[in-house]
Structure 1
Amino acid sequence: MHLIAGGSMRLRDRLLSLCGAIVIGAGMASASLAATAAVRSGDTLQLGETVYRLDGIDAPEVDQLCIDDHADPWSCGVEAREQLTRLIAGRAVRCDDLGPDKPLKSRRLGLCTVDGDKLSLNQQMARAGYAVSADPAVKYRAKDDIAAAKEALRGIWKGCFVAPGEFRTDKKDGSLLGASCRSDRDREIRDVLFPDAPSAPPGCSIKGKFAVRARVTGNIGIYHLQGCPSYPATTEPDRWFCSEDDARASGFRRAFNCRVPKK
């Protein structure tokens, strides 16, 4: 009888200890299991059902254009996405979950690392020159790595571009960044960076249009899905998005004539 009681007490103590550890860990950053990643953009990837934005950096949007070091238009947003894909190279990825992403609460901030690598993907993208610093950062402060990439003229820093945040808000008079910017070609450069009829990047079919009426709902624009009555009529979109999450994170809402897609 005493042996049974003693065993029950030890079992209860173990369970209480385990529950305490779970409660303590609930408020801390959690690491996901290693999984195959689907790259969404130069700073966003998906592991299973969870979408992570890489903490501390802001990469060009997939539909964003830059100017390269030869003064030619360059799909730097597509290149940033491909750079992240190359860094992962089909290997498993783990992400420390740092909490919800402010622009889109359904998306998470992450410090993500490929199995076998010492440096995080966040740091590798910053060092490769495919991002600017995103403040406030939760864990990874990218400024030093980005400053080094800028000095070495890596990635987008060898050309001319506007910060991704200014591209998202259509700030055509924003600061020009990069070694190839020329004050005597300011107008021509901005015409390239903000084209009147941008081309759709590969895999991106959602049309976005800046609209004053969208401000009623706290947005800056409206997006149109294929199959929506407004889709064919939106002949000159201002933005192209690869997913509804991307559109919402950029401050766009779905057109009211678009029905919710059936799952």
Structure 2
Amino acid sequence: MKQILSSIILILAGAVAAAGPSGRVHVIDGDTLDVGGTRVRLHGIDAPEVKQMCGGDGTPMWPCGAWVSQDVRDRYEGRQARCETRDTDRYGRAVARCEVDGRDIGREMVRAGLAFAYRRYSMDYDLDEKRAAVNGIGLHGTGVQAPAAFRAEARKGRAVANGAGAPEGCAIKGNISRKGERIYHVPGQEHYGATRISTAKGERWFCSETEARAAGWRRAKR
């Protein structure tokens, strides 16, 4: 009898552990939600960061991260969701699979080309992404950098924010604005320290202002 009771307790404990937050959705960004007041990182998907830009290689730069966040907001803000917690990440967020009206939010986003299958953690949405990619749906129809690669590039950019890691003697930062304008910053200018260089976006270092102007960049006003 004791063994039966112990088994029942373990089963119930497992069910409680798997149960996740439920309630009204507030969208934080493409793959992060507040559900009933609990911060949730959607399991198995990776969406562009809010400030991520897409494009390059002849495609104009555009704010794909903001676009995805707004699209997810239009779809799910204020709706009722039920989640199943899979893990807790290093930021203390519940990593969970969430449903609205019985439909998996993560799967719907990957199918719509709003997010990528995060294969490092799950293969649940692998085929959904492949179908979206083959059909050029959403982000797959434009120049887009994988969010994980963008974050890695951003970390690298922070490391060289003040010129560290630049080619020797080439400390001028050639930046591309959100509007696609090519602007260079020289050491000592107001926004030099905050400017990040993303070679994936076509940004680059210059060794002289003459070189920068010849390449089509203009000097920052401040």
Using the size of structure 1 for normalisation, the TM-score is 0.54
Structure 2 distance, partners of 1:33, 1:147, is: 30
- Indicate the residue corresponding to 2:139 in structure 1: 156
Structure 2 distance, partners of 1:81, 1:195, is: 24
1:141 to 124, 128, 139: 124
Q: Deviations over 1:87-107 (max 9, x none)?
A: 214211111111112xx2411
- Indicate the residue corresponding to 2:115 in structure 1: 131
The answer on 1:85 being equivalent to 2:73 is yes
For residue 34 of structure 1, give the secondary structure of its aligned residue in structure 2: strand
- Indicate the residue corresponding to 1:47 in structure 2: 35
Q: Deviations over 1:61-89 (max 9, x none)?
A: 11100129x92221111111112112214
Alignment of 1:106-117 (within 5 A): 106-114=92-100, 116=101
Q: Deviations over 1:127-167 (max 9, x none)?
A: 000112212335x6111000111111111111112111111
The offset of 1:22, in angstroms, is 5.0
Q: Deviations over 1:7-65 (max 9, x none)?
A: xxxxxx9xx96x86454233455233531122111111112442111111110011100
Structure 2 distance, partners of 1:171, 1:234, is: 16
- Indicate the residue corresponding to 2:11 in structure 1: 24
- Kept in 2: contact 1:198–1:238 (CA 8 A): no
Query: In structure 2, do the counterparts of structure 1 residues 47 and 238 end up closer, same or farther at CA, with 3 Å as the change threshold?
Result: farther
Show structure 1 runs of 5+ residues with no match: 1-12, 174-193, 200-231, 240-263
The answer on 1:61 being equivalent to 2:49 is yes
- Give me the CA root mean square deviation: 3.6
User: How many residues align structurally?
Assistant: 167
Letter of the 2:132 counterpart: A
Letter of the 1:25 counterpart: L
More strand by share: 2
- Indicate the residue corresponding to 2:215 in structure 1: none
- Kept in 1: contact 2:20–2:96 (CA 8 A): no
- Indicate the residue corresponding to 1:236 in structure 2: 194
Query: In structure 2, do the counterparts of structure 1 residues 142 and 234 end up closer, same or farther at CA, with 3 Å as the change threshold?
Result: same
Using the size of structure 2 for normalisation, the TM-score is 0.63
Letter of the 1:152 counterpart: N
- Kept in 2: contact 1:53–1:109 (CA 8 A): yes
The offset of 1:235, in angstroms, is 5.6
Show structure 2 runs of 5+ residues with no match: 157-173, 180-189, 198-222
Letter of the 2:35 counterpart: L
For residue 103 of structure 2, give the secondary structure of its aligned residue in structure 1: coil
